Structure 1
Amino acid sequence: MPNSELMPIGVFARRSGLTSSALRFYADAGLLSPAEIDPASGYRYYSADQVERATLLRGLREIGMPLSTVRTVLDAAPADASRLIDEHVASLLADAAAARRTATAIQGSLVAGPGLPLATLKGPVLADAVEQVLTATAHDVALPVLGGLRVEVTREAITLTATDRYRLSTRTLVPAEPAGTAWAATVDGDDLRAAVAELRRSAVVRLEATPYGLRLRGADQAGRHCRVLAEEFPDIGLMLDALDEVTTRVAVSKDVFLRALEGHPGDRITLRATHGGLAVLAADDTSRGCGLPARVTGRDLLISLELTTLYPAVSTAVGPDLLIDLRGSAQPATIRSADRGDLTTWAMPVRTDCSG
């Protein structure tokens, strides 16, 4: 192959995103040898068809894959290479989770003695509430606070709130005895998820505030420390205060509604509430759908929502029957239990070209 068809190492470095020193290292390691080496000058040349291998090599190293595994992946069939990448990423995530648990435990140990007592709750009740509200969190690198659970403690109640910007869920719990002090913070959602199983096995859980987070202490346990997020949580009260008055109220069986959503073929759903009942319709053609027995009061109304927003709001509701409060096609729908309103979700609608 004449030199005119080859790239000097500097040009190939720019094409592949690897530095010249890295290319020399990978050549010496037997992972990416030059297509040709000038015997007189020692200059290294690479061919255009080596760019793909070099780019893949760079990507594998960027995700921290060791050289021994990189070599296997580069020479493996696509299916085997994909499996090896998955195994490597799973190992990284497991290591990161273990590091997070260790770091949280260390932070908890920095506080000598008990934290500031906040409230006492039944462990299984708290575990259920945490799981229900955490469904409204989101992992967003730009907004890490959306992965947290807002915990607000007053003398009469403990309120848990989460939002992913399209859905907002809140649940209020009554403490076993009045809280000793008011407290509010956004607690890391992953730390709380990791604590759920332990909470469920504890008849009673004491909430304690520490300088670094929230400690959940069961009977005869050192307690689990959960980190507090520094980012400011969205002003939920301001948003709720700005909502219009409810114009339409729907009472419907939770199970019946869930079955209709599960059988719906699309990813966007239009609800038509009339005095005749509730209809679950296709968003792009409101002539298709199914009618549900429901008691509707107020104005007839048409509203469209994403299935990924509506379904978890319905499935996590407490009790066999739901109340859905509507304010118009462009305002959030409020979904709560008909007889136990301590878990409430607001689901954002989407625009639709349909009219009804």
Structure 2
Amino acid sequence: MRLTISEFARSVGLAPSALRFYDDCGLLPPAEVDATNGYRYYDPAQADRARLLRDLREIDLPLPDVRLALDAPPAEVADLIRSHLRTLEAKSTATREAATRLLTQLLARNTTAVLGGPELASAIRQVAPTAAAGSADAGEGLEVVLSCVLIELSPEEVTFVATDRYRLAVRTVRPVEFGGTSTRVLVRADELADVSRWAAAGDVVRVEVDGGLTLVRGDESRELAVVDAEYPAYEQILDGLAPPACRVVVDRVGLLEALAGRDVVALDIDSESLRIGDDVKLDAIGSGAVRIGFTASLLAAALEASVGPDVLLEICEPARPVVVRSADQGTFTTLVMPVRLDG
């Protein structure tokens, strides 16, 4: 039984014009062509190939790869699709970053957010120390970016982000008022830290983005230069975190004191205790068990930035970033990289 091009097109979900194009490309020639009038006829056995061709084109697989896939074993087709998806994801990320830069440039002059002064000061004190040491005047590149704090402003929240590769700190503050459009700016961490005490003295501080960043407290203002650079995609790090295999709440101050004077520490954690060697044992509440190593100074810095008497550690595995949360403040999160333990 032969099907006309229209009948075959309806059965496989392709337009007749697409079938003609794929015939011209040699990807899906008809089973028969009438020599008199040139009408194309298809065999129902060609339907599976046509549907595969349709699906491959729907994911924008290039024609040379489609040609390979149509006659390849399923495992090779799967490899082609995975490789294509990685390419699409990379292009999507690049497109999104470019669009964000353009929107920031076009709309940044229309943004204001009013924050509580003490909240703004707290966010600065918690996040700024996580930025890498160094001066943004030193040159260009990643080192400059890592010496800065990213500030993202939106009607729902203002987010402060800093990282030095080994730690990542994120703090959100809900604005009292917001005007304009969502945007993001990058400012030097040391300059931001310098205005922390000044901001804490005001009931509210208005954050204005207009080429630079201006903080307004009453009749006084502080201007901060904006660094023109692309910040690492920290959201991908947070979104890529695996569910924790071990979660434990422990005395923050007690753990901080136990880290003093140490270099690399091994934490032995279970649902009831956290041990450091044979001389430190802290009561804990949680689930799971793990042995994990840290550079003591890095973990201590994360604990110092936290607030409240307790801290929550979330560990997915000993070689992945560990989430350090303030048990009393869900708006602040720090990620700390563990270290390999010998033996």
Please report the TM-score for the alignment, with normalisation by the length of structure 1: 0.61
Look up the equivalent residue of 1:136 and give its one-letter code. Answer: T
- Helix, strand or coil: the match of 2:119? helix
In structure 1, what is the equivalent of residue 144 of structure 2? 144
Q: Aligned residue for 1:309?
A: 298
Maintained 8 Å contact 2:111/2:210: no
Match of 2:243 in 1: 245
Match of 1:227 in 2: 225
1:293 and 2:289 are equivalent in the alignment: no
Describe the SS at the equivalent of 2:330: coil
Structure 1: distance between partners of 2:203 and 2:154: 22
Residue matched to 2:110: 116
**Counterpart of 2:169?**
169
- Give the structure 2 partner of residue 158 of structure 1: 158
2:122 to 124, 128, 133: 128
How far apart, CA to CA, are the structure 1 residues paired with 2:290 and 2:248? Answer: 11
Residue 178 of structure 1 deviates from its aligned partner by: 4.2
2:255 to 249, 254, 257: 257
Conservation of the 8 A alpha-carbon contact between 1:318 and 1:343: no
Partner of 2:263: 267
Percentage identity across paired residues of the two chains: 35
For 1:150 and 1:179, how far apart are their aligned partners in 2? 19
Amino acid at match of 1:309: L
Letter aligned with residue 287 of structure 2: T
Structure 1 distance, partners of 2:269, 2:125, is 30
Distance 2:279 2:164 in 1: 28
Secondary structure in 2 aligned to 1:293? strand
Does the CA-based 8 Å contact 2:110-2:179 persist in structure 1? no
Q: 1:183 is aligned with what amino acid?
A: T
Question: 2:234 matched to which residue of 1?
Answer: 236
Q: What whole-Å deviation, never above 9, does each CA across 1:75-110 have from its counterpart, x for those lacking one? A: xxxxxxxxxxxxxxxxxxxxxxxxxxxxxxxxxxxx
Residue pair 2:152, 2:159 contacting (<8 A) in 1 also: yes
Deviation at 1:253, TM superposition (A): 1.5
Matched, 1:280 2:276: yes
Give the AA of the match of 2:245. T
1:215 is matched with 214
Contact between 2:113 and 2:177, CA under 8 Å: does it hold in 1? yes
SS of 1:216 mapped into structure 2: strand
Mapped pair 1:334 → 2:330: no
Does the 8 Å contact 2:273/2:284 carry over to 1?
Answer: yes
Report the Cα distance in structure 2 between the residues aligned to 1:160 and 1:179, rounded to whole angstroms. 18
Q: Residues 215 and 244 from structure 1, CA distance in 2 versus in 1: closer, same or farther, beyond 3 angstroms?
A: same
**Contact (CA 8 Å) 2:111, 2:183: kept in 1 or not?**
no
Structure 1 residue 197: Cα displacement: 2.6
Aligned to 2:9: none
Contact persistence 2:111–2:182 (CA under 8 A): no
Residue identity matched to 2:341: T
Separation of aligned partners in 1, 2:270 and 2:253: 20
Q: Deviations over 1:133-192 (max 9, x none)?
A: 011011245611111111011111001010011001010101113454201121121221
The secondary structure found in structure 2 opposite 1:237 is helix
Matching of residues 24-103 of structure 1 within 5 Å: none
CA displacement 1:2-53 (0-9 Å, x = unmatched): xxxxxxxxxxxxxxxxxxxxxxxxxxxxxxxxxxxxxxxxxxxxxxxxxxxx
Q: Are the counterparts in 2 of residues 272 and 278 from structure 1 also a CA contact under 8 Å?
A: yes
Shift of 1:339: 2.8
Matched residue of 1:191: which SS? helix
The residue identity in structure 1 corresponding to 2:114 is: T
Structure 2's unaligned 5+ residue stretches are: 1-108
8 Å CA contact 2:207, 2:214 repeated in 1: yes
Secondary structure of the residue aligned to 2:206 is strand
Look up the match of 1:37: none
Superposed CA deviations along residues 242-290 of structure 1, whole A, max 9, x for unmatched, are: 222211001112122122222xx43111111113311123xxxxxx341
Of residues 338, 342, 347 in structure 1, which corresponds to 2:336? 347
Q: Distance in 1 between matches of 2:266 and 2:119?
A: 34
CA distance in 1, matches of 2:133, 2:256: 26
> Aligned partners of 1:237 and 1:252: how far apart in 2?
27
Task: Specify whether residues 193 and 229 from structure 1 end up closer, same or farther in structure 2 by C-alpha distance, changes over 3 A only.
Answer: same
Does the 8 Å CA contact 2:248/2:271 hold for their aligned counterparts? no
Q: Secondary structure at the match of 1:181?
A: coil
List runs of 5+ in structure 1 lacking aligned partners.
Answer: 1-114, 282-287
Letter in 2 for 1:334: V
Over the residues paired in the alignment, what is the CA RMSD in angstroms?
1.6
